[in-house]
Structure 1
Amino acid sequence: MAEQNRQTVRDLRRASRATLLRHLYFDGPLSRQELGQRSGLSGGSISNVVGELLADGLVEECGSVESDGGRPRILLRVAPEAGHLVGVDVGETKVRVALFDLALTELAGFDHPLADRGHDADHVAELILAGLAEVLEAAGVPESAVLGVGVGVPGVVEQGGAADGSGVVVHGPTVGWSAVPLGRLLRAGTALPLHVDNGAKTLGQAEMWFGAGRGARHAVVALFGSGVGACVIADGARFRGATSSAGEWGHTKVHVGGRLCRCGSRGCLEAYIGAEALVERWGRRAPDGEQAGLAALLAGARQGDLPAIDLLNETAEYLGAAIADLINLFNPERIVIGGWAGLLLGPYLLPAVRRAATSYALSYPREQTEITLSTLGPDAVTTGAATLPLSQFLGSGGALPEHSKAARQAS
């Protein structure tokens, strides 16, 4: 019974640390008084827990504000240098690895195109591990200071049950992955904690935390790149479905028996509006890759090229109709369009997309839904991937992974 009570006390203390860390991270800097007002914890608890977080180096003082008739109130924030995070985007055309501090300021980045060996799984794992070593060396950061590595991938992620991420398996038919043991491949080259999720879901978390989705409880964040996906946010939480495959919006059908999709089916939304499909449908050579091809398509439309205008008009209608389906199915407050292709084409397409969504959606829920563009830029999947270990860190009350604990004890 005594052991059970001690465990309960530890759980309560961890929960209190997590609560204060989250408030300081998302709402800070804050004074102790403001922490009490926002968290509902007692003054004594605030004093004790803040003292612990300061002693652990997870929180730091960062100035003061005047109070009404008393001493100035000291402001607190999560210390940016208290830990580091790695985000990885396994994209359609490249692997991007970036190192961040806790404030998600990028300290170093590594990009490698996938043109030579495509999405060969062993090659992708090699690039991730090489990128990890490169960004740590470039920033002069030891592995012991890294809280974890987050990886965003194209496809459905099966977590596998292992706490360290080594059991992760990825099913990505559009890149030729069938039950790829990505966790095992990465674990062979690093002991750092691994967190893997679908790229659209990592984008969604980044947008909800820091971008155009912030403040909404019900939203959809759409990833519009070479492929198409979505992250559905229901009452503030990412909706995953029974096997974590919810959000494969790009493989909903817009034309029965239509164009062949990379997934092997026909008539998928991705087969009509994905960047690869758009460049192919335009029929103009794009020797410098999809991004250059899409930029040329957009430039053509702006210069009055009728085939380009017609194709982008049709794209806006397909996208607007597909967004109307999201509105009718999920009744979101906000739909955010992101991804490199979404950001490139969004300013041109958005007015027509909104009109099409209005035409196809039920009128009442459409009136309640804002359709907007991402504010985080084309590398938001990388940032979102870094939020995976960050979320673990905040939710655990600042618990350090074993390799970091060992390094601190040794020093």
Structure 2
Amino acid sequence: MAQRTRRTVRDLRRSSRAAVLQHLYFDGPMSRPELGTATGLSSGSVSNVVTELVADDLVEEAGSVESDGGRPRALLRVNPGHGHLIGIDVGETRVRVAALDFTLAELARTERPLAANVYEVDQIVDHIRSGIDEVLATAGLGAEGLIGVGIGVPGVVEHDPVRGAIVHGQTIGWDAVPLETLLREAGSLPHSVPYVIDNGAKTLGRAEMWFGAGRGAHSAVAILFGSGVSACLFAEDAPQGRALEWGHLTVRVGGRQCRCGSSGCLEAYAGAEALVQRWQEVGGHPPEGVDQETRLTALLAAAAPDDGTRPDPVARALVRETAEYLGAGVAGLINLLQPDRVLIGGWAGLQFGARHLDEVRAHAVAYSLSHPASKVTVELGRLGPDAVTVGAASLPLSDFLSRGGRGSAPARETVLPAWRTALEDRIKN
């Protein structure tokens, strides 16, 4: 026999607060009548909720707008100074930490470069801990008012009820790393501040879906093209995103060795690390003593010089081949998932796409079935290299908004028995 789900008065109140707060966050400023239309709440309910949110310093007035034949209507918006968040991008070349306000405007940032192919867990944890301390100090902020810390990482993230987020990063040598527990043990933040950890492509995609090139799409695939390549699907049945290990799709049987230990993976041909290696293998001369981003820039410049000189034919052939591999990989996403949009981001994706997006598009169409290809657009992300940090910060923010701004639940929340919840509701109401 199916159990009936009983919604309490507290649940309904929280749902109403969440609906109003989310519409103001994403579509504001809005007037009270507009909020009523958008949320389906009565004018009385909207008025009560807005009064609560203003009293809680979550919402403020933002001017007024003329109405038809009546008094001007006050416009409402979320208060940028209500609280702050921290977004962290644990990339494969650096750890980037940013402090952001309630509307995800950046307040302070810092970066910690990583040595090539060195991803020591203790070092990453220390970079995160010291980076958090630094950006809070730079922005003149403390732990009070900190809504949460969001972190994007390479690899698969699982959530254990006891140890929190567990990271399986095969390409960086991480095997079931209890990152959340390690951060709790090493950090100075109160236990009430949540750490929310997820796949880096997923955080990039969330930022683009909220504020960038994915906004308004019914379904989209976000590609994170950096040292390696990965992707995330956003669709009706995956509104929060579903990470895809797209970079380890086999594109050539018996092909190049991949960092994951397999062979012939897309990442072994199209990831920035592999791309620079391939250039060196065919006689190219990547600059020494510089980071991976500078080495990729040198390759792209050799393939298509900006000064009008003739391109290096070896570099040009390699870049063209890479555009075809990427296009074929995108075609696989189009044929399998049939999204409205494919968004290419990440530091390498933005560099590569700025010069060669048309080639990638052409190959994607050539390798796709015509019907799904006719319904998709392939474009660059609009949020730049900071998309992962912004998306990471959106993880705790999303939870905060869904709770109507009441604050995040403890990391491992205890569910009270139904009789206890009902009793508490009767006492409070």
Q: Into which bin does the TM-score normalised by the smaller protein fall?
A: over 0.9
Name which of structure 1's ranges 75-84 and 394-403 shifts more when overlaid on structure 2: 394-403
CA distance in 2: counterparts of 1:161 and 1:369, whole angstroms: 39
3-state SS, counterpart of residue 221 of structure 1: strand
Note the C-alpha offset of 1:400: 2.0
Aligned to 1:307: 314
Deviations 1:275-306 (A, max 9, x none): 00010000023320211111001110113110
Q: Which residue of 2 aligns with 1:290?
A: 292
Aligned length: 392
Checking the alignment, whether the CA contact within 8 Å between 1:117 and 1:123 is kept in structure 2 is: no
Match of 1:249 in 2: 246
Counterpart position of 1:372: 379
Q: Per-residue deviation at 1:142?
A: 1.3
Report if aligned partners of 2:286, 2:298 keep a CA contact under 8 Å in 1: no
Over 3 Å counting, the alpha-carbon distance change for 1:353 and 1:33 in structure 2 is same
237, 240, 262: which one pairs with 2:239? 237
1:347 positional shift: 2.0
Residue of structure 2 aligned with 1:345, choices 325, 333, 352: 352
C-alpha spacing 1:224/1:61, structure 2 compared with 1 (3 Å): same
* Secondary structure, counterpart of 1:292 in structure 2: helix
Distance 1:127 1:316 in 2: 34
The 2-side partners of 1:107 and 1:300 are apart by 37
Q: Indicate if the aligned counterparts of 1:279 and 1:286 stay in contact, CA closer than 8 A.
A: no
1:78 and 2:78 are equivalent in the alignment: yes
The question of whether the paired residues in 1 share the 8 Å contact of 2:286 and 2:299 is answered with no
Partners of 2:93 and 2:116 within 8 A in 1? no
Q: Deviation at 1:341?
A: 0.4
Among 257, 262, 268, the alignment partner of 1:260 is 257
CA contact (8 A) 1:85 1:148 kept: yes
Q: Which residue type is aligned with residue 380 of structure 1?
A: A
**Pairwise CA distance, 1:117:** 8.8
Distance in 2 of aligned mates of 1:78 and 1:370: 32
**Which residue of 2 is the match for residue 330 of structure 1?**
337
Within 1, Cα distance between the matches of 2:34 and 2:409? Answer: 33
Cα RMSD over matched residues?
1.7
Write the letter of the residue equivalent to 2:355. Answer: Y
CA distance in 2, matches of 1:76, 1:102: 15
* Structure 2 match to 1:243: none
Deviation track 1:341-383 (CA, whole Å, cap 9, x = no partner) reads 0100102111111111111100011010000001000121111
Q: Any conservation in 2 of the 1:88–1:96 contact (CA below 8 Å)?
A: yes
Give the whole-Å Cα distance in 1 for the aligned partners of 2:114 and 2:43: 54
Aligned ranges 1:7-26 → 2 under 5 Å: 8-26=8-26
Return the letter of the residue paired with 2:233.
V
Q: Deviations over 1:221-244 (max 9, x none)?
A: 00001010001011261443xxxx
Of residues 29-38 and 301-310 in structure 1, the stretch that sits farther from structure 2 once superposed is 301-310
- Residue 22 of structure 1 and its aligned partner are, at CA, apart by 0.7
Seq. identity, %: 59
In 1: Cα distance, 2:383 partner to 2:161 partner:
31
Q: Distance in 1 between matches of 2:136 and 2:84?
A: 10
The answer to whether the Cα contact below 8 Å between 2:342 and 2:376 also exists between their aligned partners in 1 is yes
| Cross-structure match for 1:278 | 275
Partner of 2:48: helix, strand, or coil?
helix
- Residue 333 of structure 1 contacts residue 368 of structure 1 at CA under 8 Å; is this kept in 2? yes
Does the 8 Å CA contact 1:231/1:238 hold for their aligned counterparts? no
Q: Deviations over 1:134-178 (max 9, x none)?
A: 11111111101100000000010011125xxx5211000111100
**Aligned amino acid, residue 153 of structure 1:** V
Matched AA of 1:330: L
* CA apart distance, 1:110: 1.1
For the pair 1:390 / 2:394, whether they are aligned, the reply is: no
* 1:101-132 residue CA offsets vs partner (Å, 9 max, x unmatched): 01111000010111189211111011101000
The offset of 1:7, in angstroms, is 6.7
5+ long unaligned stretches in structure 1: 241-245, 404-411
